[in-house]
Amino acid sequence: MPVLELRGITKSFPGVLANQDINLTLEKGEIHALLGENGAGKTTLMNILYGLYRPNEGEILINDQKVDIEGPSDAIARGIGMVHQHFMLVPVMTVTENVMLGNETTRNGVFLDREKVSKRIREISDQYGLEVDPEAYIKDLPVGIQQRVEIIKVLYRQADILIFDEPTAVLTPQEVEGLIKIIRSLIASGKSLIFITHKLKEVLEVADRITVLRLGRVVGSAIPGQVDERKLAEMMVGREVNLVVDKQIAQPKEAVLEVKDLFVRDERDNPAINGLSFTVHSGEVMGVAGVQGNGQTELVYALTGLLRSASGSILLSGKDIHKSTPRQIIEQGVAHVPEDRQKHGLVLSFPLLDNMVLCTYYQPPFAKGVNMQEKIIIQNGVELVKQFDVRTPSVFVAASTLSGGNQQKVIVAREFSRPIKLLIASQPTRGLDVGSIEYIHGRIIEKRDEGTAVLVVSSELDEIIALSDRIAVMYRGRIVDILPAGATKEHLGLLMAGVKPEDIPESAKKKSAGPVEKVF
Amino acid sequence: MMNTKTTLQSDDMRPRIVWGIVLIAVGLLVLFLFAFSTEAGQVTRFGLNEAKADAFVIPDLVLPSQATTYAMALVLIAVGAFQMARGVKSNSALVTVLAFCFVMAFLVWAARDKSFSLVGMLSSSFVRATPIALAALCGVISERAGVTNIGIEGTMLFAAQVSVIVGTTTGSLWLALLSAILTGGLIAALHAFLVIKFKVDQIISGTAVNILGAGTTSFISSRFLEKNIDALNNSGTFPAISIPLLSKIPVLGPVLFDNTPIVYLTMILVVILHIVLFYTPWGLRTRAVGEHPKAADTLGVNVFLTRYVNVIVGGMFAGIGGAYFTIGSVGRFDEIMTAGKGFIGLAAMIFGKWTPIGAYTSSLIFGFADSLQVKLQILQVGIPPEFLLMAPYIVTMIVLTGVVGKAVAPAADGVAYEK
């Protein structure tokens, strides 16, 4: 008897059919992986189960009983708990307060009983190996620990059916291992688990059963021993996918970007970069690996002029640009694919054709004096849409109407279509589907082969390994080590977690056989 | 270790020097403006007893004007110099020294050769702080739940007018107060409905409430109230209630324990709101909804309901604040009689870091500035009254520049929640 069964779930949003006739069962003590690209409808489905959305059709059965879930409190009452992809934690409150929120224990029926709750948290911590200080404030905790708090929140409410939505997206490889251990202990204590992800390797490692979603439908299911990554990727995307980035050995030439002793303060005036030096040469890809929040964002901001560096120098082909404005830097041939494409990459309400000339609109041929040359701008838009395979009804639609992958293609089209000598790409494929990732990676390598110096910043280790010719690992605002291509994931992961280069065991540095594989 | 220490020092260097310079500059200002214009032998008499006889009378505070002003100037300069050389950790300590010395020197100078009732002024500070504090509490409870309410001024005007009309027609001041509370709640409910249900921009909606309040009450006032003063606009006021024994304590008694019901009510509300906000489930939910509504929603907390209730209760606080102007102090309604107190309340809320006790304390500062201004006009110190009238507003502006530590608003403050 399954603990949970979804029958014929259908959910439509204006213009989109997010879920279409989905059937799914979860057995007791099982880890059921829900695999699919972004936008395949995984999160929508789970939000329906958790009561955040109401389905248009279909029913939910828990222990063979039909239930009506009208809101999160119904879901919680029926033993469903969700560990959200974007943590649902209040940063300025303590762990205890976050855990008790919505389900408070009181003294005399009026006053919050913090002691009792923190005692219960300690019990849960001990039982499942989820070590955390109940009195700590969330904002002071690293993401890995924050995730533990999310799990404790769910266990505190005595959930039996646990949903993990992309739980590994923000973790280092070592933290992922820790999470998997926790998941195993949850299963051992009789919980059942739905594990949402788009990472193939994880699925094969963790799941008992896999269901693949594409475009809102179930396209197949599998059992880990009987499929491989290639087969799963094909099911996800609907066509054969090239999992490996084809590239030749890099031919680095002269230094294009030289950063020396850079110190940068972040927007809140805290030191973010503490003395960092490196060089990127023409014709090579330098990857910057690191757990989010170790200064990568500020590094990119400093290099592109969005944040003034406190001291040090940034030389672009020998010229110091650390006091230049973003426009001056752009004009010297620097392209920037920003981390947050919607905030910093596009003007969402502008049509595509205007977005395509955001950094060149004031120059000929797009402007003559103060007059914009509309015809040329339209023509440019049409050509780039064709050249970069942007799927859009026309160049006149607002950028906000495109999917994430196509929005990213618009940015890539704009940045790659002008003469550049340095490309800075920050999280270039975050949230994109396998097909778009394949495309953007191909374009980046193409630029490298044309002789552009490329700096790729990504928190996805697989992406860094797939693209880079050299890999710099950042930790707390410093580059702890620069490794050659082909460094092992374990080695990188330890550096990312703050282990000193001299303390890395030899076993971690050994390269496993076979080509470097890219996993999504 | 060494390294971090040096960075820390250089971090503190600039503000330290700036603070030192400010202190010394103010010290010099005190010296030139006040100390130099006093004469030897002049004394300033601060009255420490209310007119009503206390249980035991304590002697008035008599200070030599010249020596005191010089002393204050020297203290400021000395603290400034010390700050430049060594540095004091706490900015609020510096501000306290700065404010105390400056105000003290100013009062001693202004009241030289005269007598000045310190107790009277402190007592009137508490009274004048009351509407500001109520407006600030309204702001605290709404914004903690994530809804900005800048319509407090308009809400208070409505409540002030309704309460005077109800008070005059029924003859019951308690009914008048109740009607003010309901009016405040109703106006806030309108604001809440617009910004929660229809997601109208919260600043626009608040501004609309202010304009509506000013326009409607002025119209009703000139059309009806002024023509029928005895029938509609003459409610009388709450009498002061002396608390037995406590009100006999020297200085504190007349200041704290001899007030009108609205002043007491405000003090009680501050304590209640503090307890509710930080020690009860409702408070926890309110703060969560103001910081991260989605997180609260996923835990089954009804974000919309929480916001409605908080905004409406806040409106009731503002309603009491409105009642203060009419049935709490003068017994009749005048056009735009709130004179920006609702906005000053918002400043007090920010200065008080969105906490009830902080908001009340900062309201007292504004109340002090207000009562000082009145006292100085009576003393005829030779400063044009127009400038004196500005005092509370100037204090507001100084406070809002964030000189005294930056406050962080609730993260979801002013943002409509979308499911």
Residue B154 has, within 13 A of its CA and on its CB side, a CA count of: 20
Average pLDDT for chain A: 89
Beta partners for B112?
Answer: B44
Respond yes or no on whether the N-terminal peptide bond of residue A351 is cis (omega within 30° of 0): no
Q: What is the pLDDT of residue A72?
A: 93
Asked if B287 lies within 8 A of A106 by C-beta distance, the reply is no
Question: Where in A327-426 does DSSP place strands (E)?
Answer: 334-337, 367-368, 371-372, 422-426
CA gap A40, B343 in Å, rounded: 49
Asked if B287 lies within 8 A of A104 by C-beta distance, the reply is no
Cβ contacts (< 8 Å) between A92 and chain B: which residues?
291, 411
Least confident of A60-74, A104-118, A500-514: A500-514
CA gap B188, B319 in Å, rounded: 9
Cβ contacts (< 8 Å) between B291 and chain A: which residues?
90-93
Å from A106 to nearest chain B CA?
8
Out of A142-156, A226-240, A480-494, B282-296, give the one with best mean pLDDT.
Answer: B282-296
Stretch A20-31: mean pLDDT: 94
Asked if A84 lies within 8 A of B298 by C-beta distance, the reply is yes
**Selection from B112, B104, B220 nearest residue B162 by Cα:** B220
Contact A211, A196 (CB under 8 A): no
Å from B238 to nearest chain A CA?
33
Of A71, A106, A112, the CB nearest to B300: A71
Q: What is the pLDDT of residue A243?
A: 67
Residues of B near A (Cβ–Cβ under 8 Å) read 7, 279-281, 284-285, 287-288, 291-292, 294-301, 411, 419
Asked if A89 lies within 8 A of B295 by C-beta distance, the reply is yes
Buried b / exposed e over A363-372, threshold 16 CB at 10 Å, is eeebbeeeee
Asked if A97 lies within 8 A of B299 by C-beta distance, the reply is no
Q: What is the pLDDT of residue B131?
A: 97
Å from B302 to nearest chain A CA?
9
**Residue A334 phi, psi dihedral angles, 5° rounding:** -110, 130
B207: tokens are 């501004």
Supply the DSSP string of A13-61, one letter for each residue. Answer: ETTEEEEEEEEEEE-TT-EEEEEE-TTSSHHHHHHHHTTSS--SEEEEE
Q: Which of residues 203-242 of A touch B (CB under 8 A)?
A: none
Tens-digit pLDDT string for chain B (419 aa): 334 333 444 445 667 788 889 889 999 999 988 888 888 888 888 888 765 555 567 788 888 988 999 999 999 999 999 888 887 777 778 888 888 898 889 888 888 888 888 888 899 999 999 999 999 999 999 999 999 999 999 999 999 999 999 999 999 999 999 999 999 999 999 999 999 999 999 999 999 999 999 999 999 999 999 998 889 999 999 999 988 888 888 888 888 888 999 999 999 999 999 999 999 999 999 999 999 999 999 999 999 999 999 999 999 999 999 999 999 999 999 999 999 999 999 999 998 999 999 999 999 988 998 888 888 888 777 778 788 778 777 877 877 776 666 678 898 998 889 87
Q: What is the pLDDT of residue B8?
A: 40
A404: tokens are 């994430």
Q: What is the pLDDT of residue B3?
A: 40
Å from B298 to nearest chain A CA?
6
Sequence-separated (6 or more) residues with CB below 8 Å from residue A474: A276, A288, A289, A290, A294, A295, A296, A299, A480
CATH number belonging to the domain at A255-333+419-509, selected among 3.40.50.300, 3.30.70.980, 3.40.50.12500, 3.30.450.20: 3.40.50.300
Q: What is the pLDDT of residue B404?
A: 60
Asked if A112 lies within 8 A of B299 by C-beta distance, the reply is no
Cβ contacts (< 8 Å) between B279 and chain A: which residues?
111-112
Asked if A100 lies within 8 A of B284 by C-beta distance, the reply is yes
* Strand (E) or helix (H) holding B171: none
Taking one residue from A and the other from B, the number of pairs with CB-CB distance under 8 angstroms is 67
Using the predicted structure, report yes or no on whether residue A351 has a pLDDT greater than 50: yes
Q: What is the pLDDT of residue B402?
A: 65
Å from A374 to nearest chain B CA?
35
Q: What is the pLDDT of residue B405?
A: 60
Out of A337-341, A351-355, B112-116, B182-186, give the one with best mean pLDDT.
Answer: B182-186
CA gap A354, A345 in Å, rounded: 12
Helices (H) and strands (E) in chain B, counts: 16, 5
DSSP assigned state of A401:
G
Å from A228 to nearest chain B CA?
36
Asked if B295 lies within 8 A of A72 by C-beta distance, the reply is no
**Selection from A97, A107, A154 nearest residue B284 by Cα:** A97
Stretch A65-73: mean pLDDT: 93
Using the predicted structure, report yes or no on whether residue A139 has a pLDDT greater than 80: yes
Cβ contacts (< 8 Å) between A106 and chain B: which residues?
280-281
Q: What is the pLDDT of residue A172?
A: 75
- Which CATH superfamily is A4-237 part of? P-loop containing nucleotide triphosphate hydrolases (3.40.50.300)
Binning pLDDT at 50, 70 and 90, where does residue A435 land? Answer: confident
User: Which amino acid does the sequence have at B287?
Assistant: R
Stretch A31-37: mean pLDDT: 90
Stretch A483-506: mean pLDDT: 87
Q: What angle do CA A326, A328, A331 make, to 5 degrees?
A: 110
Sequence-separated (6 or more) residues with CB below 8 Å from residue A444: A285, A423, A425, A428, A454, A456, A467
For CATH 3.40.50.300, the residue range(s) in chain A are 4-237, 255-333+419-509
Nearest CA in chain B to A114: B279
**Selection from B256, B287, B292, B302 nearest residue B356 by Cα:** B287
Of B279, B288, B299, the CB nearest to A112: B279
Q: What is the pLDDT of residue B52?
A: 55
Cβ contacts (< 8 Å) between A477 and chain B: which residues?
none
Residue A12 has, within 13 A of its CA and on its CB side, a CA count of: 8
Residue for token pair 């709490």:
B328
Q: Which of residues 313-342 of A touch B (CB under 8 A)?
A: none
Model ipTM over 0.95: no
The residue of B144, B292, B355 whose CB has the most chain A CBs within 10 angstroms, and thus the best one to mutate to test that interface, is: B292
The residue of B280, B286, B291, B299 whose CB has the most chain A CBs within 10 angstroms, and thus the best one to mutate to test that interface, is: B299
Q: CA distances (Å), A215 to each of A33, A39, A42, in order?
A: 17, 7, 10
Using the predicted structure, report yes or no on whether residue A102 has a pLDDT greater than 80: yes
> Could you give the domains of chain B?
2-113 (no CATH), 120-400 (1.10.3470)
Could you give the 3-state DSSP secondary structure of residue B83?
helix
* Rg for chain B, CA atoms, rounded: 23
CA gap A182, A132 in Å, rounded: 13
More confident residue, A303 or A391: A303
Contact B248, B54 (CB under 8 A): yes
Q: What is the pLDDT of residue A462?
A: 85
What are A169-216's pLDDT values in tens digits? 777 777 888 899 999 999 999 999 999 987 788 889 899 999 999 888
Binning pLDDT at 50, 70 and 90, where does residue A456 land? Answer: very high
Q: What is the pLDDT of residue A237?
A: 81
Å from B189 to nearest chain A CA?
24
Give the CA dihedral A139, A141, A142, A145, nearest 10 degrees: -130
Percent helix / strand / coil, chain B, rounded to 5: 70, 5, 25
Asked if B284 lies within 8 A of A112 by C-beta distance, the reply is yes
Cβ contacts (< 8 Å) between B300 and chain A: which residues?
71-73, 76, 102-103
Report CA B30 to chain centroid distance, whole Å: 26
The residue of A92, A163, A266, A476 whose CB has the most chain B CBs within 10 angstroms, and thus the best one to mutate to test that interface, is: A92
What are A406-418's pLDDT values in tens digits? 888 899 999 999 9
**Chain B within 8 Å of A17 (Cβ-Cβ)?**
no
* Strand (E) or helix (H) holding B174: helix B173-192
Q: What is the pLDDT of residue B139?
A: 97
CB-CB neighbours of B237 under 10 Å: 17
Asked if B299 lies within 8 A of A72 by C-beta distance, the reply is yes
CA gap A427, A291 in Å, rounded: 12
Could you give the 3-state DSSP secondary structure of residue A446?
helix
Q: What is the pLDDT of residue A231?
A: 87
Asked if B411 lies within 8 A of A110 by C-beta distance, the reply is no
Nearest CA in chain B to A89: B295
Could you give the 3-state DSSP secondary structure of residue A503?
helix
